[in-house]
Structure 1
Amino acid sequence: MRLVVLGPGHPFRGGIATTTTAAVAALRARGHQVSFLTPRRQYPAWLFPGRGGGRDPEACPLLPGSEAVLDPVFPPAWPRARRAAQRAGADAWLLPYWTWAWAGCWRYFLAGERPAVVAIVHNPADHDAGWTQRLAARSVLSRCDGLFTHAETLAGRLRRDYPGLACAAHPLPATATGDFLDRATARRALGLPADGRVAVFAGLIRPYKGVDLLLDAVASLPAASDWRLVVAGEAWGGLGHRLQRRAAEPDLAGRVRLDLRWQSEEELRALLSAADLVVLPYRDGSQSAMAPLVLAAGVPVLSTRVGGLAEVIEDGVNGRLVAPGSAEAVAAALAALDRERLDALAAGARRTVSRLTWSGYAAALEGLLERVARGGGS
């Protein structure tokens, strides 16, 4: 098929950019002709409360044939970008949906003559979305011809909300490249104790991800516990200051290390190599690109039972699942995970990754694209 993929890629960082880039590469590997139209910028500063404008040239590769023509918040740029998509003469267009900030741009692409369009739905609406953000999401997704997502739980919801649209799902594979380190080497490099258990939270830190609950959980462990926690990632807004104040309290003395900045791929690999466990204490959410990356490193995951995480994290096989919103549940799970149990779950993590491949992901996406292309666009 001849395809156009629109969405973030090099030089931007974050899960949407890395997974969109990986999807383009996987579709090309299956023989499809894929044009990749990327942004000149993702967000203005007032929409992105992080540093560096969301850029990191090392975060994902610059694929051949990429063309930086998109700008989600500058409408005068939209006609040129749409003409670039139309020139490709594609059988279908693919675009990611995850935030209302792109809704106006996507609606422009969906208007008028076009081929079939499939949205890769990372989130059906922004986390903590109000009615305006939900309306923005519906205004985009209802105009698509197909919806692809990363969890059957979410696909079922989309089928109910958009009954006339074709839907399909496949779990996200890992996007990391390069080799992981042995644990002893990684811990020496990071200045972590060689003995004892190390839990890690890594990634963009937002309120819905529940890092504050994780700090409370570690604080409630017995004083003799050998668990140490590393929280590594960029915190949005004032959340970082609140976490720093909490980590400085006496009940967390010597138990927590905060590194509140964006982690490069190399730094993230080192963290995962040093970890006995990664914790995803989300209050809510649809899925996580971190989970398959962690499993690919052979590290088990302690996650809350939200969204599609339970479709990737198998309780007692490659990790543990607990109720969301409960520091007590996280603490109890940590206390129960001795070295023997962690080793067994790590073996399960390594087995899991074999079923999460980009080839399988692209095949599932290809099946949906063929269905909607046969039905025609609007």
Structure 2
Amino acid sequence: MAEPFKNLINPAVVQSCGEHLQRAWPGFERPRFEQQALHGLEDLEMKARAMQVADALEATLPRDFDHAASVVEAALAPAATGDELGFAISPAGLAGWIGWPLGEFIARRGLDDPKRGLAALHALTQRFTVEFAIRPFLVHHPDFTLATLTGWLRDPSPHVRRLVSEGSRPRLPWGLQIKQLIRDPRPTLPLLRALQDDPSAYVRRSVANHLNDIAKDHPSIVADWLESHLPGADAQRRQLLRHASRTLLKQGDRRVLSAWGLGQPLAGSARLRLPGPRLNVGDRLALSLTLVSESDQVQPLAIDYVVHHVKANGSTSPKVFKGWKLELAPREEKVLLKHHSLKPVTTRSYHPGEHRIDIQANGQVVAGGSFLLDT
């Protein structure tokens, strides 16, 4: 069985943190820190562990924030020089998952001195990402923080450049939502424009995820972006823009499909075949889709399928899944096969009833069917 994720912050990590902080500042109350940080730690989940360690840091680091930030910086391991993500505490200093509570401490205590707080995050993110910790600065000091991020666009560290994009994502998973950027994401667009051709794939993937965040609330902005930045793009940028388009492609957004040359409806017919009328939770659903072209031209097609899951109250909720991307030759008949798991996952439960399947080709429903699910 895999080690629980929460154990990435464990007693050994806490004790090493105390050791390095005491090395950086001999006056550090290491026994008090460890006692508070370790109390009941084993019973806590991941985020609660990070917050408890941050509480202990608040209780034991200097009250003067500049002094406290200097202690944290002096306790850090040497900065990472590449895209490597395998950060960990070592005899050289602090790095890795202890960075979450360290970043939380800086976010709590540094808001009254944003210049010093952001400087500390600049150092820390080169040992562990501080995308969560920078978000309170964007909420409370938006103009100053965005100006600081602009100054980091040409930083030699890919971890700092990635923070520019990742830390300012409107809907960062697990992170504080930045509601002003959800309402109006335009302040971050110059940052993304500057980073979309970054030499680091680590940075470019963050830009793609940031654009995909924006697409959830402002699809027209991302459609505009594609129409401006996709023509003439090299393979590297096309890969980024494709990843940024994923939500809107699944939703069948007409402008986004058109930008990718997928705007034309299927010229022909589609027929979906499903297995017997009843399936059980845990089964695999076999989808067989037959496409018949009635065109004399090659047809580029993006085909997804929508499962209308039955909810506990008997209503249904659609979920789009990636299907196939292909070119249908003139007058060609093609059979496509796919298996879809009906095994429960942490983000989805299954309930009995009729589940409908819709097939979308270039954003338009072209075929469908249904099956009965028994639990």
TM-score of the superposed pair, with normalisation by structure 1: 0.23
Structure of greater relative contact order (alpha carbons < 8 Å, 6+ residues apart): 1
For the pair shown, the structure with the greater C-alpha radius of gyration is: 2
> TM-score of the superposition, structure 2-length normalised?
0.23
